[in-house]
Amino acid sequence: MENHPNYRWNKKHILVVEDDETSAYLLDEFLRETGAKIEYVTDGEGAVEYMREHPETDLILMDIHLPQKDGFTATREIKAIAQNVVIIAQTAYAFSIDHHEAELAGCDAFFTKPLNPILLLDKMNAFLS
């Protein structure tokens, strides 16, 4: 993917919540050149705990189907801690019920995997600019 000049988020803090190593690697490839501070956790409980310690986080890429605590539950708990954090749900399952439940949980956007990096980065840029 070519580096897009609009994806410059040097003062932004992004949390990636992803239990699949390959998906986390791909997200790292997409985000590496943006200048954002990027942190990773592998489950919903870790995401909630991270947000308790770092409520200044600007955006979360939240996998929905996670071990222990799913992304829907984690999103609801995170929004109770930090209402203004943007949460973008991502899932390999394209069921409309997931999209609807993500909205109800408080997700600000929803993407299905495999992710289109340009569409994802454009959506992130809309929230982070």
- pLDDT tens readout for residues 38-48: 999 999 999 99
**Confidence label for 54 from pLDDT (cuts 50, 70 and 90):** very high
Residue 1, pLDDT > 70, answer: no
Q: pLDDT tens across 79-103, in order?
A: 999 999 999 999 887 666 788 899 9
Nearest alpha-carbon partner for 49 in 78, 73, 72: 78
| Angstrom distances, CA of residue 53 to CA of 8, 49, 66 | 25, 7, 21
Domains observed in the chain: 13-128 (3.40.50.2300)
